[in-house]
Structure 1
Amino acid sequence: MNENIYTEIPTEDNTQVASIVTSDQIYSEITTSQDNVQIPLPVMNDHIYSDLKTEYNTNASKHTDTAAGKENIRRNYVIALIVVLIIIICVLSSILIVQNLEQENGETACEGGWYQFGDTCYQFSNSSVTFDDAVKMCIGVSSGAILLEIRSLEEEIWIRFMMKLQGLTTTWMGITDSLDEGTFVFVSSDKKIQNVYAHWDRGQPEGGKSENCGLLLLGYEAWHDFPCSFKYEYICAKARLCRN
């Protein structure tokens, strides 16, 4: 592009003087004018930017705190579970060691089909009977035998362990409040269990006069009272034999 364009240039005496302006000169002026145009850009207010940054940091912090809290709860639960398992294993191991030493020394023994814990022998029955029948069955199975009466936490831990091994999920216990509502006693002695050992679950016993017999269920952490007419498995107990 190099076409000539004629234009008039005014002089001091107003005479017009022709001047030749090339198209390249005009294009150059237009381009220069375009380059000098200022295009306004959006500018973020410092206050808005600060608010957005603060909100982002807050949300990120909350997310981190929540995740950390859940992880701490999970870790504490696992640690507590491990500690409980270690305690149970230690208790059972010490019991088995003592029993083996006693049997090796010929100090104690249980008849065939009976399992020893401390000074007591236990027989586990998978038959389901009523509470009264369980009491009668234990009395008749062997001289001096009674329906299970748990008298310590260590004994209960061992009983629960053995129930799993023997395939029992429930067992009647030789405790009842049928004679005096709300006051549970051992069937063999009429002594109040509260003076020896009691391990009721939360809200138990709650059955009133309709539930007068104690039951141990592996599905629960502690004891429940149930109607005596229901049928459940049972465990008999008796004093160990001495060989001295």
Structure 2
Amino acid sequence: MASEITYAEVKFKNASPAAVVEVPPETKKHEHHPQKYSPWLPWLISLLLLLVCIALIIALLGRGWTCCPKGWKRFQGSCYYLSDDTMPWADSVQNCTGMGSHLVVINTKAEQVFLTEEVRHSALGFNHYIGLSAPVVGQWQWADRTPYNETAAFWRSGEPTNVTVEKCVVIHKMSNIRNWNDIRCEHHYRICEAAAVTV
């Protein structure tokens, strides 16, 4: 004999409804932006900066700094001081010596051009002593005993006059590059020269 299967729905009292699992809404995926530069670029820039710094250090240590005292002007390997007061020749010589220098000795045309421009732009007087004098009339000598070279002289037209009372030499402000003038050894401005210091 065949049996019948009967299905029944059973409900329990005080039973909780089926648990509902809440699923969070799907999070929005972040958009991926490609980088505008390669990831190694900052390292490359750092390396280049390091190499530049090393090159500068090598250049500076190998060559050194060339400097002059405050208030002095540097040109090539020398420092120049244009005074702001006047004195006679002998006092000018001593003043420069007291500063570890000497009245300027002009050796080249480039140096003469540089000094001419410095004197021309100075707000002070017209005459600046250089280190050239004639203890004996017509026998010019430099203060540091550098031999006097007639071909490297920059006398004004008609100079030197080679007279007994004019034994000292100045650069005259209102002249072109040929501006040396022999003059009385009275109160004038001065130009001192010293070797530039390399540190």
TM-score band by shorter chain is 0.5 to 0.7
1:106-129 Cα deviation digits (max 9, x unpaired): 431112221110010011111011
| Alignment partner of 1:237 out of 173, 193, 197 | 193
* C-alpha distance in 1 between matches for 2:81 and 2:148: 24
Matches within 5 A, 1:75-224: 106-141=64-99, 143=100, 145-168=101-124, 169-178=126-135, 180-189=136-145, 191-194=147-150, 197-221=152-176, 222-224=179-181
Question: Any unmatched runs of 5+ in structure 1?
Answer: 1-100
Question: Any unmatched runs of 5+ in structure 2?
Answer: 1-58
Q: 1:128 is paired with a residue of what secondary structure?
A: coil
Alpha carbon RMSD of aligned pairs, Å? 2.0
Q: TM-score, normalised by structure 1?
A: 0.52
- TM superposition shift of 1:233: 0.5
Letter in 2 for 1:150: I
* Percent of aligned pairs with the same amino acid: 23
The question of whether the paired residues in 2 share the 8 Å contact of 1:215 and 1:224 is answered with yes
* C-alpha distance in 2 between matches for 1:108 and 1:116: 9
Question: Looking at both structures, which has the greater relative contact order when contacts are Cα pairs under 8 Å and sequence separation is at least 6?
Answer: 2
The question of whether the paired residues in 2 share the 8 Å contact of 1:149 and 1:174 is answered with yes
* C-alpha distance in 2 between matches for 1:106 and 1:115: 18
Higher helix share: 1
The question of whether the paired residues in 2 share the 8 Å contact of 1:128 and 1:232 is answered with yes
The question of whether the paired residues in 2 share the 8 Å contact of 1:115 and 1:122 is answered with yes
Aligned residues: 136
* C-alpha distance in 2 between matches for 1:166 and 1:216: 12
Runs (4+) of structure 1 moved beyond 4 Å? none
